[in-house]
Amino acid sequence: MSDRPSWPARLSPPAAGTVGELPDHAREMLRDVLDIAGRDPWSFPPFDLRDPDGEDVRSAAVGQLTAVYWINRPAGRLYVLDIIWLG
């Protein structure tokens, strides 16, 4: 186990709207994905590998679910920009 604190996640208004439309199992999957990302925000690949300045925008994809988040270093939290559910 890591002694580093977990980074809490905040949702953008569009992402919060999407969460309300997700089926229950997808919401649980999103919670798990954000929990993993919160433990080590850099564990998922950058959203756009061609953008060297965009290393803090990450894409956490598991199965049919993708969460695009920004690592807000000064605030110590993740900011979820978008959620994509292909279900």
Measured over the CA atoms of residue 67, residue 71, residue 77 and residue 79, the dihedral's sign is negative
Strand order in the sheet with 65-72: 9-11, 77-85, 65-72, 57-62
Domain map (residue ranges) of the chain: 9-85
Checking if the pLDDT of 72 tops 90, the result is yes
Express each pLDDT in 12-52 by its tens digit.
999 999 999 999 999 999 999 999 999 999 989 998 889 98
pLDDT for residue 1:
47
Residue among 77, 82, 87, 85 at smallest CA distance from 15 = 82
- Residue 82 burial class via C-beta count within 10 angstroms: exposed 0-12, middle 13-18, buried 19 and up: middle
CATH entry, 9-85, from 3.40.640.10, 3.30.465.10, 3.30.2310.20, 3.40.250.10: 3.30.2310.20
The confidence band for 2, taking pLDDT boundaries of 50, 70 and 90, is low
Checking if the pLDDT of 56 tops 80, the result is yes
For β-strands 9-11 and 77-85, DSSP reports them as parallel
